[in-house]
Amino acid sequence: MKRSALTTSFFYALVLVLSAWYVVPFVWALATSVKHPGMVFDGRWLPYERSHAITVEGHEVEMRIVEERGDAFLVRLSGTGELREVPKREIERISPNWSNYAEAWNIVPFGRYMLNSVFISLCITLGQLVTCSLGGFAFSRLEFPGRNAVFLLYLATLMVPGPVLTVPIYLLLREYHLLNTYQGVVLPGLFSAYGTFLLRQFFLTIPRDLEDAARIDGAGRFSVYLRIILPLSGPALAALATFVFIGSWNDFFWPSIVLTDPDMVTLPVGLAHFNDIFVFEYGRLMAGSMISIAPAILMYMLFQRFITRGVVMTGLKG
C-alpha cells in the first residue's frame, strides 16, 4: 500500500525510538566494559584514561590531580610539590581498557561455564528430541488402549507451573544423591509434555500413504518412525531443538538450585555468582556480561532463520 511521505517519516521516527530502546543498554554496557577503574562513572560514553605524569621542560614528572577547574586540572607535582593548572586534554586521553575483559576472563572460569552449558544444553536437547519424537509418534501414529486418556493427562499437566514441581523433584534428586551432578540438571529436562504435543501435531500432518506403502513392503513400526516420519519432520525437529537449546542454555532457576560446585555451574549461574562477588565493579561486570552474551549473539546470527521459526512454532508455550 502507498504511504505518504509524512507517514513514512513518522514510521522511521518510531522505528528509531524502538531501536534505541533495545540498543542503548548494550552500548552503555559495552562502553562501561572498556572503562578504566575509577573512571566508570565520569558521565562520559567514551573510555578516558588519566596519566599520572606530565612533561615539564622535557622531563616526565609524576603528579596527582587535586581538583577539576573547568577544562583544566589543578595538579600537584611530586617532588617539588608545586601546584599547576594543566589542560585536561594533556592528562586525559581516550583509550579502551581491554584488560577488564582479560581480568573477568581470568577471575571467572567462563570457558568452563560455557563448556558446562554446552554439555548440559546438548544433552537436554538431544534427549528431548528422542523422547518427544518417540512419544509424539506413539500419540499420532499408533493405536493402543488408553492412548487418548494418557494424552489428555499430558495436556492437563501443561497448566501446572514450574514451582509446584521443583520441591518434589529436588527431594527426589536429594534422595538419590543426584544434587550437584550434571545428571541432576539433565534428567528432569529430558522429557517435555509440551515437546511431545508439538511433535504429535506435526506428525499428524504427514500423509498416511507413505507409511502404508512402507508397511506393505514389510517395514516395522520402528523403521516407519526412523525412515519415514523423522526424515520428513526436519523443520519441526529443528524448531524444537533450537527452542529447547536456547531454553536450557538460558535456564537459571533449576541449575541454580541443583548445582553448587563452582566447576559445574552453567554460564548464567556462574555469572550470577560473579555478580554477587563483584558488586559495583561495573567495568569487569559489564566485560563479563558481554563475554557471556557473545555466544548467544553468535548463535542468533548463525541460526537466525531457525530461531525465528522455532519461536513461532513452539511459541504456543512461551
Partner 1 sequence: MTNRTLRHALIGYAFLLPNIAGFILFTLAPIFFSFLISFFDWNLFSGPVFVDIGNYVSMFAGSGFWNYLGNSLFFLVIVPLQMVIALSAALLLNERLKGSLLFKVIFFIPVVLSVIPIAIIWGHILDTENGLLNTLLLLLGGTKIAWLYDPAWIKVGISLMAVWQGSAFSTIIYYAALQGIPDQLYEVATIDGASRWRQFRSITLPLLIPTHVFLGITGVIGALQLFAPIYVMTHGNTGGAHNLIVEVYLKAYQEFQVGYASALSWLLFVLIFLLSAVYWKYIKKKAEYA
Which residues between 245 and 284 bind partner 1 (CB under 8 A)? Answer: 246, 249-250, 252-253, 257, 267-269, 271-272, 275-276, 279, 282
259 conformational bin, left if phi > 0, alpha if psi -120 to 50, beta if neither:
beta
Among 18-26, 58-66, 205-213, 230-238, which window interacts with partner 1 (CB under 8 A)? 18-26
Among 62-70, 82-90, 94-102, 301-309, which window interacts with partner 1 (CB under 8 A)? 301-309
Q: Cβ(39)–Cβ(47) under 8 Å?
A: yes
Residue 154 interacts with partner 1 (CB under 8 A): yes or no? yes
Question: Interface mask (CB under 8 A) for partner 1, residues 32-51, using x and -?
Answer: x-------xx-x--------
Shortest Å distance, C-beta 54 to partner 1: 27
Is residue 19 packed enough to be buried (19+ CB in 10 Å), middle (13-18) or exposed (0-12)? exposed
Which residue number, 56 or 303, has a Cβ lying nearer to partner 1?
A: 303
Which residue number, 75 or 251, has a Cβ lying nearer to partner 1?
A: 251
Q: Which of residues 190-229 bind partner 1 (CB under 8 A)?
A: 190-191, 193, 196, 221, 225
Shortest Å distance, C-beta 187 to partner 1: 7
Residue 129 interacts with partner 1 (CB under 8 A): yes or no? no
Q: Cβ(267)–Cβ(294) under 8 Å?
A: no
Cβ neighbours, 10 Å, residue 247: 17
- Of 5, 6, 21, 149, the residue at the interface with partner 1 (CB under 8 A) is 21
99's grid cell: 584488560
Among 55-63, 93-101, 146-154, 210-218, which window interacts with partner 1 (CB under 8 A)? 146-154
Query: What does the DSSP assignment read for 208-249?
Result: HHHHHHHHHTT--HHHHIIIIIHHHTHHHHHHHHHHHHHHHH
Shortest Å distance, C-beta 8 to partner 1: 7
Shortest Å distance, C-beta 82 to partner 1: 33
Query: What does the DSSP assignment read for 2-29?
Result: ---HHHHHHHHHHHHHHHHHHHHHHHHH
For 113, half-sphere exposure in the C-beta direction (CA atoms, 13 angstrom radius) is: 30
Which residue number, 23 or 83, has a Cβ lying nearer to partner 1?
A: 23
Shortest Å distance, C-beta 204 to partner 1: 15
Q: What is d(CA 303, CA 17) in angstroms, rounded to the nearest whole number?
A: 27
Residue 160 interacts with partner 1 (CB under 8 A): yes or no? yes
Cβ neighbours, 10 Å, residue 232: 16
Residue 162 interacts with partner 1 (CB under 8 A): yes or no? yes
